């Protein structure tokens, strides 16, 4: 029963939230500046002035009916057009506005994407480690989330495990690159092999398997690398984007669904998003926010702090003997804990005011996540605590 399900969810505590609450409480005791809070993935950099200016300029000068009026069913055409052009310029694609549907953040994007390609009871496959919110996003649509075990050597895809899990009931595969919580970027080789297996299995089962690509961290990438664009490798790709991280505006709730123009029925799928939206009560993200992201589409916040923080942590963790895959992007790192039970490990870390999140809820027990979207100065101060923690508890 759904109503019962919602009720039961209230009793399930989120470990991330628990840790964040502990950090806040501890902060009241010793000053929050002394708590090395790596719990929440909450973007911390300044919003680009161009975005703020776009909003203020509209509010001061534009016709109120334009900025506060209803969006059309398929969201604002010139905004969809701006997104399409931007994707084409950056990734050599052929989107038009007919392939773009604006939504309220990545949660909204995935809500539409899952309903586009699954019926209740169908399966959606994702890969550990994965963002725990994928469970409610998928399960409460009526579909069932299945998780392919992690490939901890590099957190790319374990294709043998995937092969076993791609049953007749799987209608979509959900990826997240760069990945929360591992920070890993899927290589071109991974995406090519993924496309191959999805093409093969689609033929075998006589129905299409779609790729849902969740890309809110696409712009946070390290070592001057490029993130391969998943839709380039597989026609039936539904790209889910959010500006939460790139513009540092998670509260504004803005993103999009883009259906690969090479996907059969791509434009029909976008039109269907308008119908799904009525059913789940979205009916377009805030109009002025749509208009503002279109005006600021060339900009991101200054995201370099995340790379600075990553390097500090990666070097220290490595020096301390942690097994850790170097992140290619995001503001997360996902090392192996120094004992089998990562929950116990993270519990002990609290004594050193280090707030870490065990990997269990990410489908990857024995690991832990650090969200380093915090001031570099604090990261630096945390390194001594980390060293003390390891040397006291594990030497």
Name which of 191, 186, 174 is nearest 117 in CA terms: 174
Compute the least distance from the CB of residue 279 to a copy of itself, in Å: 3
Instruction: Pick one of 21, 25, 46, 226: the residue that binds a copy of itself (CB under 8 A).
Output: 46
147 binds a copy of itself (CB under 8 A): no
132 binds a copy of itself (CB under 8 A): no
Nearer to a copy of itself, 122 or 307 (CB): 122
Instruction: Pick one of 80, 282, 348, 369: the residue that binds a copy of itself (CB under 8 A).
Output: 282
Q: Which two tokens stand for residue 6?
A: 């919602």
- Chain positions 48 to 67 lying near a copy of itself, rule: CB under 8 A, are 52, 55-56, 59-60, 64-65, 67
Stretch that binds a copy of itself, among 88-96, 274-282, 335-343, 376-384 (CB under 8 A): 274-282
Count residues binding a copy of itself (CB under 8 A): 68
- Chain positions 96 to 115 lying near a copy of itself, rule: CB under 8 A, are 103-105, 107-112, 115
Contact 228, 189 (CB under 8 A): no
Instruction: Pick one of 28, 224, 281, 395: the residue that binds a copy of itself (CB under 8 A).
Output: 281
Instruction: Pick one of 272, 312, 383, 385: the residue that binds a copy of itself (CB under 8 A).
Output: 272
Write down the residue that tokens 């701006």 correspond to: 82
206 binds a copy of itself (CB under 8 A): no
Compute the least distance from the CB of residue 149 to a copy of itself, in Å: 25
365 binds a copy of itself (CB under 8 A): no
Nearer to a copy of itself, 111 or 390 (CB): 111
Environment class of residue 29 by beta-carbon count within 10 Å: exposed (0-12), middle (13-18) or buried (19+)? exposed
Instruction: Pick one of 50, 133, 219, 393: the residue that binds a copy of itself (CB under 8 A).
Output: 133
Distance, in Å, from the CA atom of 292 to the CA atom of 86, rounded to the nearest integer, reads 15
Distance, in Å, from the CA atom of 275 to the CA atom of 286, rounded to the nearest integer, reads 18
Cβ-proximal residues to 53 (8 Å cutoff; 6+ apart), any chain: none
Distance, in Å, from the CA atom of 83 to the CA atom of 167, rounded to the nearest integer, reads 35
Stretch that binds a copy of itself, among 21-29, 183-191, 283-291, 379-387 (CB under 8 A): 283-291
353 binds a copy of itself (CB under 8 A): no
Cβ-proximal residues to 75 (8 Å cutoff; 6+ apart), any chain: 100, 101, 102, 103, 284, 285, 290
Footprint on this chain of a copy of itself (rule: CB under 8 A): 1-3, 6-7, 9-10, 42, 44, 46-47, 52, 55-56, 59-60, 64-65, 67-71, 103-105, 107-112, 115-120, 133, 136-137, 139-142, 248-253, 268, 271-272, 275-276, 278-289
């Amino acid at each position: 029963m759904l109503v019962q399900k919602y009720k039961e969810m209230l009793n399930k505590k989120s470990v991330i939230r628990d840790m964040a609450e502990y950090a806040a409480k501890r902060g009241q005791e010793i000053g929050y500046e002394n708590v090395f809070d790596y719990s929440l993935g909450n973007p911390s950099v300044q919003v680009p002035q161009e975005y703020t200016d776009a909003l203020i300029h509209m509010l001061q000068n534009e016709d109120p009916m334009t900025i506060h009026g209803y969006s059309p069913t398929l969201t604002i055409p010139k905004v969809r057009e701006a997104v399409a052009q931007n994707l084409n310029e950056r990734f050599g694609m052929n989107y038009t506005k007919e392939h773009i549907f604006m939504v309220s953040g990545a949660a909204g994007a995935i809500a539409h994407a899952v309903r586009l390609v699954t019926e209740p009871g169908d399966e959606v496959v994702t890969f550990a480690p994965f963002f725990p919110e994928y469970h409610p996003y998928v399960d409460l649509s009526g579909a069932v989330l299945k998780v392919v075990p992690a490939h901890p050597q590099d957190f790319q895809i374990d294709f043998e495990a995937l092969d076993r899990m791609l049953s007749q009931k799987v209608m979509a595969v959900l990826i997240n690159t760069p990945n929360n919580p591992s920070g890993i970027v899927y290589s071109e080789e991974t995406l090519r092999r993924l496309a191959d297996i999805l093409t093969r299995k689609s033929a075998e089962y006589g129905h299409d398997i779609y790729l849902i690509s969740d890309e809110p961290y696409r712009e946070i990438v390290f070592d001057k690398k490029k993130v391969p664009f998943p839709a380039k490798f597989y026609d039936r790709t539904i790209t889910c984007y959010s500006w939460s991280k790139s513009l540092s505006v998670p509260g504004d709730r803005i993103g999009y669904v883009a259906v690969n123009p090479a996907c059969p029925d791509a434009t029909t799928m976008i039109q269907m998003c308008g119908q799904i939206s009525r059913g789940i009560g979205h009916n377009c993200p805030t109009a002025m926010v749509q208009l503002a992201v279109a005006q600021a589409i060339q900009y991101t916040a200054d995201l370099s702090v995340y790379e600075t923080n990553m390097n500090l942590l990666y070097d220290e963790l490595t020096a301390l003997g942690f097994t850790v895959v170097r992140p290619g992007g995001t503001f997360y790192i996902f090392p192996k804990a120094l004992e089998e039970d990562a929950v116990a490990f993270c519990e002990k870390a609290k004594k050193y005011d280090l707030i870490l999140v065990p990997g269990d809820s990410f489908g990857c027990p024995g690991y832990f996540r650090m969200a380093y979207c915090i001031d570099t100065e604090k990261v630096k101060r945390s390194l001594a605590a980390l060293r003390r923690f390891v040397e006291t508890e594990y030497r």
